[in-house]
Chains A and B, each alone.
Chain A
């Protein structure tokens, strides 16, 4: 494995003393594909660490629509425009932002091809394409079906489609949610969404129900969600897990039916969150394994499959670290340091990373999960004794404080990344 060899070579050449010394900074050429929380963060951070670097960011869309807090859009508490950010600040920082989809990567020739046919050469490539929905995984669920049964797992028109379907649902209707097996983007996200949908229904359509058909038996912050659902929403939300036979195997978009091995449920609104994999460009670059995700060397986030390619964010296999915007940003900051050092011929740094994910069970009721992680030889592990979820017996004041923190976290992060 070439990347392994490189790593050893670079470690051997280690200049221990200082953190990225700008004095003898190299004029490396870095290309980043994907301008989400991972890619936009790493591009900006690279320029901050060494403004002699040439950094190009290839992002398909001119406007980024952020997923965190998008469930508040579904529940009617936020506007989709509050989720949207431009890349102007990145350009101002000297990042060469190119709004084109990357359509191919040739790792041998260190070449990226854009849709318009132009190519870019790189010394280091950072792939941050996020997820693709797996359109083969659920019988009957393809892109056309998603126009009728939204996934809303990439924020944007899908988010407002789901919101609007809820608003126009008949009185006493049934919302069915299908939740995939792990790993997928944002482990607690489906349960936050069920909560905020239930809150909307309680206010506007009190006889309506939410049925969650889950492909697993346990989920992030489960006891906290279950008890909060009970106290806030009574019997509006019903959750069924894998052992209850709730794994969804097929859908029928025209009839709005959702099927497990045991039953077919008639939905009024169906939110199908399908299984996921790394964004397609990662597959084209040859950095995915059979799982559909990208294996990495933990310390540097460099691909174990191709030289001079790093993978960060949802697309990467970061083991104990969840696929979250918080983690994507933390990984990006670390990766920027490592790429800068490698280009300078310095050895990589061993650093710990953090993740904190808030979930809003209601706009004034937040719960959190946190973790501290360290890179081992092969995997990122969670540090024992640290991390964990909000206490089960916390007061309503504490829940309100965590809800406020969720919003301030979002504002802080999006300011750092996009403002």
Chain B
């Protein structure tokens, strides 16, 4: 990982997201891949799911488990991993 190290709790949370979403660098057979999405775009989406402004199947239920600040760090880390597609990721 060449990127600035995220705080470890954020890194753990993001790994849980990859239970459904394709991990950057893997075959894109996850539900929604984050390829080419910016941190801001992901943050806005997550916050809209959290507030209920956007509706989905499970994302409203899951985003409510995190504070807006946590969602921001998660989004930033996800965007970074996607952008890097580091040699150590699959």
Residues of A within 8 A of B (CB): 17-19, 21, 48, 326, 329-330, 333-334, 337, 341, 349-354, 356, 368, 370-373, 383, 385-388, 390, 398, 401-402, 405, 408-409, 411-413, 415-416, 419
Contact = CB atoms under 8 A, between A and B. Distances in A.
B64 A416 contact: no
A387 B61 contact: yes
Contacts of A390: 57
B57 A416 contact: no
A19 B77 CA distance: 13
Given A351-B8, A390-B57, A409-B31, A370 B62 contact: yes
Interface of B: 1, 5-9, 11-13, 15-23, 26-27, 29-31, 57-58, 61-66, 88-90
A326 B31 contact: no
Q: Which interface residue of B30, B57, B66 has the most chain A CB atoms within 10 A?
A: B57
10 contacts: A329-B19, A333-B15, A337-B11, A354-B17, A368-B58, A388-B61, A402-B57, A405-B58, A415-B26, A416-B90
A351 B64 contact: no
Contacts of B7: 19
Contacts of A353: 12, 16
Given A415-B26, A416-B90, A334 B12 contact: yes
Nearest to B7: A19
Nearest to B63: A386
Nearest to A402: B57
B58 to A, nearest CB: 5
A408 B66 contact: no
A401 B22 CA distance: 18
A386 B19 contact: no
B65 A351 contact: no
B62 A386 contact: yes
A354 B31 CA distance: 15
Contacts of B64: 372, 383, 385-387
Contacts of B31: 405, 408-409, 412
B57 A398 contact: yes
B61 to A, nearest CB: 5
A351 B13 contact: yes
Given A356-B58, A412-B21, A415-B29, A386 B15 contact: no
Given A19-B11, A415-B26, A354 B65 contact: yes
A351 B29 CA distance: 26
Given A412-B30, A412-B31, A333 B61 contact: no
Nearest to B64: A386
A158 B6 CA distance: 45
Given A352-B65, A354-B17, A408 B30 contact: yes
Nearest to B57: A402
A386 B22 CA distance: 23
Given A18-B5, A352-B65, A387-B61, 15 more contacts: A17-B5, A19-B8, A48-B89, A333-B15, A333-B16, A334-B15, A349-B9, A353-B16, A368-B57, A372-B62, A401-B57, A405-B58, A412-B22, A412-B30, A416-B23
A370 B61 contact: yes
A415 B27 contact: yes
B65 A386 contact: yes
A48 B12 CA distance: 14
B27 A19 contact: no
A291 B90 CA distance: 38
Contacts of B17: 354
Contacts of B8: 19, 337, 341, 349, 351
A371 B5 CA distance: 27
B61 A386 contact: yes
B11 A419 contact: no
